[in-house]
């Protein structure tokens, strides 16, 4: 009924963040050394990874929005196809919420 995304995107982002952290750690370690080439190399790697990670994070928020929108469309289509089921679900949710509100007093 609902399309689910795989966890591969989350794993990729976690790997990218780990790579970014490793690059920044190497940058900080080489910053104390005298080697200017190591500092510039580590810095350029860190900047490139940071740009890639930001792009993926911004893309993932768009995917979340798209998945939520698709779920809304599927629920809307389901309720239009089976209106009495929608009424029953709405009534059940209303009863549960009413019971929860009454029990809190």
**Is residue 13 a contact partner of residue 43, using CB atoms and an 8 Å limit?**
no
C-alpha triplet 71, 1, 65: angle, nearest 5° = 20
> What is the CB-side half-sphere exposure of residue 58 using CA atoms within 13 A?
6
- Whole-model pTM? 0.38
Q: Enter the tokens of residue 103.
A: 């029990």
Query: So what's the pLDDT on residue 60?
Result: 62
- Residue 48's pLDDT is 79
Distance of alpha carbon 25 from alpha carbon 16, whole angstroms:
14
pLDDT tens, residue order, the chain (105 aa):
455 555 555 556 667 777 777 777 776 666 665 667 776 777 777 777 777 777 776 666 667 777 888 888 998 888 889 889 888 988 999 999 999 999 876
């Amino acid at each position: 009924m609902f399309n689910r995304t795989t966890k591969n995107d989350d794993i990729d982002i976690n790997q990218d963040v780990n790579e970014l952290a490793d690059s920044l750690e190497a940058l900080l370690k080489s910053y104390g050394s005298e080697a200017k080439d190591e500092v510039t190399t580590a810095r350029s790697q860190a900047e490139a990874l940071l740009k890639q990670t930001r792009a993926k994070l911004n893309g993932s928020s768009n995917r979340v929005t798209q998945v939520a929108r698709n779920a809304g469309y599927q629920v809307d289509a389901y309720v239009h196809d089976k209106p009495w089921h929608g009424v029953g679900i709405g009534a059940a949710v209303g009863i549960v919420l009413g019971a929860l509100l009454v029990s809190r007093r």
